[in-house]
Chain A
């Protein structure tokens, strides 16, 4: 049945004639405020809403709450992992939220959000209905139904309001060899090192741009890994130093992270980017090209960094907007906020859809401190709008406190904007869509046949149609097409996510949608 060596994502159970399908269990819950994401923003929002008197459920995809910044290693972890101040602060935040009555459901990924709190969204006629009768609201004040499933079971939560605090993911643009095992995002390296105490490899090269490369490097050293080098695309260290110098709040953290790198004599290169990863069955070396003043790699002056078994490449972060896009919130593009992000009212964290709030990176990349503050604002405002305590004076103070660190983050994002020429390294045999194994040559051929955009080339090549639904390749495809068409990547926009937001078993879907 199966093809040797090639993994299918699903298993067919043998069934005899007349056997009904195996039924799944879906727990049904309800609350005032349902929060998606148990990171810095989500936990702060949960604690704030619960202390205002609201009943709160938090859904989180990971086995343990904490998100990326407040990542919680397992209880059995060694003191060297669990002893750091971020872990301690995260543990406090989780404990406070739970003490306030918050129910955190880990290991549950949201696969659907629908307006209407009564049941699964109400029965509406399907195929036979003419478009003129189209009357589905994208959202409403009647609340929401959230469907989530994962390692720890399936749930269906009805909530009066929702707060989306789904964080961000690394921004990656394909280059030859980026699918080799050992080539990962800095975020992946950070999770391996901080959560499991495992460096991503014996000897790692970290490359890309942004302040995040520094903590990743520090974590890898702490987990016992060696660093071949850190390669920062940006070539204006004095400007970066000036931004840091203006923000005394982060001096101590900066020193804590930079010290071990300095002590380990890790080479720190500037003004170049990885244009290829080399290796047969895993990464062995990286090819680096210097960047010119316009951010384009000079492919005639490359050099190699060898003897590596891990290569982390990422150019900052993109907000996770699948959920807010799925419920119809308005989004804006701003390079200094990580690109497309959910539009939020700073005073309340409300989105353009009534009853939907967005906290943390979903509303624009700003880092952990602003995320905590915006989470608290969202939690207080969501509870207040449901009739719980008036917290407007506190929210005003929080908005004022958030201004400084948010401006710092914006300045850093702007400084570390990805080089314009990232797509220049893409060759015709570079894989663009990892899920469906689609190369740049195939995408370019579709463009030459008349497909004119990401959607058109997706239909003809399957690029973006696979398991990740374009989350990983979306920005790379946009960059490739923009380069081909002489457009700006932002003009290519983003695809509206469709049901399900994550793959979900047929049996779970069936049980979840039962009246």
Chain B
């Protein structure tokens, strides 16, 4: 691989996570020559924290059209490219509190009305689906068509496909800024030189707001610590993605995801008592009148002990038979949280600037759709789902209203 930076590109994508990779693939397959610039390792930031569940269940009712499209798209990608351990294993969302049965029933009814097929299972039925789940749950919802992929290999496969169709990718190439002339994007600057381009896609997760701010585009996005634990390789024991039913109180009231990787490691994370404060509480005045972007810390800290304690407690509560297996590793990444928990995807600020960020911790499944939205935007086409939900100016509109 040549390491010299190209002088020009049809589109520069800032960020080589799953969103940048999916966007690069969509653009390259549409005949453009995108250049992906990643500040660190591909998939090493936000995407690396993901447990990459490809799900339509308990996500966002308004987004069901996009979610159904993107879930189908992942299956197509597996057939077309493969190599990323796509596994349509289905997803269970366990219910631990009486009050949450009604929450689950609400989701199930609404999703079934939209043509999806989730169902509610009693504990005996849950054990038919997931025999090792012997903990004292009340019930679980079951979404049989949900899948999981290996997040690292998915990034690699999409980038490889993009390169096959003419994309160029560079790791360890941080973009310092987006260059403009008049009200038009003209390129990006990096320590390795500048690249001329008419289109820049900010797919930089929690770092996108920092790059957008100097262009007058204020993205109300905050980094949030995402943590995960993994055990040593063990024989097959967990067949499904096992998550917590969304609680009365939303994701922040409690969050769990447990699954077993194809290589045998049990991956798990739980936050029982989450914090709050996504709502701009951490914004700081930078003296220009505009709020400064908040980005993740330069040195990634270790996992929180409370997180470890909650995660281990929950795993053993659900799967007591795992008590003797060993935890091998832990990791921390930062995801980008928006006020309404949706992506920002579409044009913003100067002509030629596109945003594709705001994963809210469940971005993996949506990334092919976000790539499609941006690609259709650049090509002047109409995407197959409602682009208005993801407009960059929706927060300003909401504030003005």
Is A–B contact present in the complex under a CB 8 A cutoff?
Answer: yes
Q: With CB as the reference atom, state the residue of chain A lying closest to B40.
A: A455
A127 CA to B170 CA, complexed, in Å? 31
B306 contact from A3, A124, A134, Cβ within 8 A: A124
Q: Are the C-beta atoms of A447 and B1 separated by less than 8 Å?
A: yes
B159 contact from A12, A20, A449, Cβ within 8 A: A449
Within the complex, what minimum Cβ distance (angstroms) separates A434 from chain B?
A: 14
A118 proximal to B (CB < 8 A): no
A451 CA to B206 CA, complexed, in Å? 21
A130 CA to B295 CA, complexed, in Å? 9
- Interface class of chain B by DSSP: mixed
Given known pairs A19-B320, A124-B304, A126-B306, the reply for A500 and B328 (CB within 8 Å) is: yes
Q: With CB as the reference atom, state the residue of chain A lying closest to B328.
A: A503
Please encode chain A, from 417 to 460, with 1 for each CB lying within 8 Å of some chain B CB and 0 for all others. Answer: 00000000000000000001000000000111111110110011
Please encode chain A, from 29 to 60, with 1 for each CB lying within 8 Å of some chain B CB and 0 for all others. Answer: 00000000000000000000000000000000
Q: Which of A87-95, A330-338, A506-514 contacts B (4 or more CB under 8 A)?
A: A506-514
Please encode chain B, from 140 to 161, with 1 for each CB lying within 8 Å of some chain A CB and 0 for all others. Answer: 0000000000001101100110
A255 proximal to B (CB < 8 A): no
B44 contact from A448, A456, A467, Cβ within 8 A: A456
Given known pairs A12-B322, A451-B171, the reply for A128 and B134 (CB within 8 Å) is: no
A503 CA to B331 CA, complexed, in Å? 14
B326 proximal to A (CB < 8 A): yes
Q: Report chain A residues within 8 Å CB of B264.
A: 8
A505 proximal to B (CB < 8 A): yes
Please encode chain B, from 266 to 300, with 1 for each CB lying within 8 Å of some chain A CB and 0 for all others. Answer: 00000101111110011010000000001111000
A131 contact from B44, B172, B282, B305, Cβ within 8 A: B282
B41 contact from A18, A123, A455, Cβ within 8 A: A455
Q: Are the C-beta atoms of A506 and B315 separated by less than 8 Å?
A: yes
Given known pairs A122-B305, A133-B282, the reply for A451 and B42 (CB within 8 Å) is: yes
Q: Report chain A residues within 8 Å CB of B41.
A: 451-453, 455-456, 459
A9 proximal to B (CB < 8 A): yes
Q: Report chain B residues within 8 Å CB of A326.
A: 302
A17 proximal to B (CB < 8 A): yes
Q: Are the C-beta atoms of A460 and B156 separated by less than 8 Å?
A: yes
B48 proximal to A (CB < 8 A): yes
A504 contact from B134, B306, B326, Cβ within 8 A: B326
Given known pairs A10-B326, A22-B323, the reply for A131 and B316 (CB within 8 Å) is: no
Q: Are the C-beta atoms of A448 and B1 separated by less than 8 Å?
A: yes
Q: Report chain B residues within 8 Å CB of A242.
A: none
A504 CA to B229 CA, complexed, in Å? 12
Within the complex, what minimum Cβ distance (angstroms) separates B148 from chain A?
A: 17
Given known pairs A8-B235, A10-B231, A456-B44, the reply for A127 and B255 (CB within 8 Å) is: yes
The number of chain A residues with a CB under 8 A from chain B is 68
A114 proximal to B (CB < 8 A): yes
Q: Are the C-beta atoms of A499 and B303 separated by less than 8 Å?
A: yes
Please encode chain A, from 122 to 144, with 1 for each CB lying within 8 Å of some chain B CB and 0 for all others. Answer: 11111111111110101000000
A134 CA to B234 CA, complexed, in Å? 34
B275 contact from A128, A459, A469, A498, Cβ within 8 A: A128
Chain B interface residue bracket vs A: 35 or more
Q: Report chain B residues within 8 Å CB of A125.
A: 273-275, 304, 306
B132 proximal to A (CB < 8 A): yes
A131 CA to B223 CA, complexed, in Å? 6
Q: Are the C-beta atoms of B232 and A10 separated by less than 8 Å?
A: yes
Q: Are the C-beta atoms of A9 and B274 separated by less than 8 Å?
A: no
Q: With CB as the reference atom, state the residue of chain B lying closest to A514.
A: B309
A13 proximal to B (CB < 8 A): yes
Within the complex, what minimum Cβ distance (angstroms) separates B5 from chain A?
A: 13
Q: Are the C-beta atoms of A114 and B233 separated by less than 8 Å?
A: no
Q: Report chain A residues within 8 Å CB of B322.
A: 12, 21, 506
Q: Are the C-beta atoms of A506 and B134 separated by less than 8 Å?
A: no
B325 proximal to A (CB < 8 A): yes
A10 CA to B301 CA, complexed, in Å? 28
Q: Report chain B residues within 8 Å CB of A500.
A: 327-330
Q: Are the C-beta atoms of B274 and A127 separated by less than 8 Å?
A: yes
A253 CA to B334 CA, complexed, in Å? 55
Please encode chain B, from 73 to 98, with 1 for each CB lying within 8 Å of some chain A CB and 0 for all others. Answer: 00000000000000000000000000
Within the complex, what minimum Cβ distance (angstroms) separates A387 from chain B?
A: 29
A16 proximal to B (CB < 8 A): yes
A466 CA to B232 CA, complexed, in Å? 8
A484 CA to B218 CA, complexed, in Å? 42
A465 proximal to B (CB < 8 A): yes
Q: Are the C-beta atoms of B324 and A15 separated by less than 8 Å?
A: no
B247 proximal to A (CB < 8 A): no
A265 proximal to B (CB < 8 A): no
A462 proximal to B (CB < 8 A): yes
Q: Are the C-beta atoms of A506 and B305 separated by less than 8 Å?
A: no
Please encode chain A, from 95 to 124, with 1 for each CB lying within 8 Å of some chain B CB and 0 for all others. Answer: 000000000000000000010000011111
Q: Are the C-beta atoms of B277 and A127 separated by less than 8 Å?
A: no
Given known pairs A450-B1, A460-B156, A504-B327, the reply for A123 and B134 (CB within 8 Å) is: no
A267 CA to B205 CA, complexed, in Å? 61
Q: Report chain B residues within 8 Å CB of A10.
A: 231-234, 324-326
A1 proximal to B (CB < 8 A): yes
Q: Are the C-beta atoms of A9 and B233 separated by less than 8 Å?
A: yes
B213 proximal to A (CB < 8 A): no
Report which residue of A22, A129, A138, A455 has the largest number of chain B beta carbons within 10 angstroms of its beta carbon.
A129
A11 proximal to B (CB < 8 A): yes
Q: Report chain B residues within 8 Å CB of A460.
A: 42, 152-153, 156
A2 proximal to B (CB < 8 A): yes
A514 CA to B263 CA, complexed, in Å? 30
Within the complex, what minimum Cβ distance (angstroms) separates A477 from chain B?
A: 14
B residues 90-118 touching A (CB-CB < 8 Å): none
Q: Are the C-beta atoms of A127 and B282 separated by less than 8 Å?
A: no
A8 contact from B156, B233, B313, Cβ within 8 A: B233
B226 proximal to A (CB < 8 A): yes
A2 CA to B233 CA, complexed, in Å? 11
Within the complex, what minimum Cβ distance (angstroms) separates B160 from chain A?
A: 6
Q: Are the C-beta atoms of B323 and A21 separated by less than 8 Å?
A: yes
A293 proximal to B (CB < 8 A): no
Q: Report chain A residues within 8 Å CB of B231.
A: 10, 506
Q: Are the C-beta atoms of B282 and A132 separated by less than 8 Å?
A: yes
A126 contact from B1, B123, B171, B225, Cβ within 8 A: B225
A85 proximal to B (CB < 8 A): no
Q: Are the C-beta atoms of B274 and A134 separated by less than 8 Å?
A: no
Q: Are the C-beta atoms of A9 and B326 separated by less than 8 Å?
A: yes
A455 CA to B40 CA, complexed, in Å? 9
Given contacts A446-B156, A456-B44, A459-B152, list 12 more A-B pairs with CB under 8 A: A8-B264, A12-B325, A17-B123, A18-B136, A127-B227, A127-B271, A130-B281, A131-B295, A499-B308, A499-B329, A500-B328, A506-B324
| Cross-chain pairs A/B with CB under 8 angstroms, 6 sampled | A8-B264, A22-B324, A134-B301, A500-B330, A509-B327, A513-B312
Q: Closest 3 CB pairs between A and B?
A: A128-B275, A456-B41, A10-B325
